[in-house]
């Protein structure tokens, strides 16, 4: 694994900047690979080598925006970070994850085209690992691995988008329902 060539790094930055600008101007719908390439002044091949595919590009944009969230629950202050008791941390984590998911809904919808795991795997695994650790502390006898999936699944972008945008469900209700499940599990 050697260092990225300087021209490659420059192109990566140009592409991300161009993509960010297009999303800001036209929304996620307008984010076509050809257009991003043209705006960044590179060939489409370059986008694909760098990001794999359209979801990969979306994921890179998301990743950039939430680097700090990822570290907040790993090493930040309580209740998200270490220090609080596991139940409070889990609750805070699910609440925070709900908010950031709602905040990035369009990009997530685009990134999850091929399922949440194709490229989004990295971040999902981080969330899953964190939550299953907390659950294991709460209920050492339970299948923390599967339970973590079950608590994370309701935050899938397509479901949230549908309920919030089409059905008028409030974000708070979603948080409360998850918290209720978590409580039930703890008891």
> 2-11, long-range: CB within 8 Å, 24+ apart, which pairs?
8/50, 11/40, 11/42, 11/46, 11/50
Q: Which of 20, 39, 50, 70 binds DNA (CB under 7 A)?
A: 50
Is residue 183 at the binding interface for its own copies, with CB under 8 A as the rule? yes
Q: Which does 17 bind (CB under 5 to 8 A by kind): DNA, its own copies, none?
A: none
CA–CA separation, 147 vs 90, rounded Å?
A: 12
Instruction: Evaluate whether 123 touches 62 at the Cβ level (below 8 Å).
Output: yes
Is residue 53 at the binding interface for its own copies, with CB under 8 A as the rule? no
Is residue 164 at the binding interface for its own copies, with CB under 8 A as the rule? no
**Residue 153: burial class (beta carbons within 10 Å; 0-12, 13-18, 19+):** exposed
CA–CA separation, 106 vs 183, rounded Å?
A: 30
Q: Which does 43 bind (CB under 5 to 8 A by kind): its own copies, DNA, none?
A: DNA
Is residue 162 at the binding interface for its own copies, with CB under 8 A as the rule? yes
In the complex, which residues of this chain contact its own copies (CB under 8 A)?
109, 112-117, 142-143, 145-147, 149-151, 153-154, 156-159, 161-163, 166, 169, 173-174, 176-178, 180-181, 183-187
């Amino acid at each position: 694994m050697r260092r990225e060539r300087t021209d490659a790094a420059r192109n990566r930055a140009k592409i991300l900047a161009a993509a960010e600008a297009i999303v800001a101007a036209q929304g996620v719908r307008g984010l076509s690979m050809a257009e991003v390439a043209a705006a960044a002044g590179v060939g489409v091949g370059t986008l694909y080598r760098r990001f794999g595919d359209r979801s990969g590009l979306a994921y890179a944009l998301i990743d950039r925006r939430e680097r700090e969230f990822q570290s907040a629950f790993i090493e930040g202050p309580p209740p998200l970070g270490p220090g609080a008791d596991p139940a409070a941390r889990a609750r805070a984590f699910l609440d925070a994850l709900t908010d950031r998911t709602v905040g990035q809904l369009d990009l997530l919808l685009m990134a999850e085209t091929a399922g949440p795991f194709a490229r989004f795997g990295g971040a999902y695994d981080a969330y899953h690992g964190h939550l299953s650790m907390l659950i294991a502390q709460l209920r050492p006898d339970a299948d923390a691995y599967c339970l973590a999936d079950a608590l994370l699944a309701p935050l899938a972008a397509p479901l949230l988008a549908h309920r919030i945008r089409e059905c008028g469900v409030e974000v708070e209700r979603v948080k409360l329902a998850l918290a209720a499940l978590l409580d039930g599990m703890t008891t």
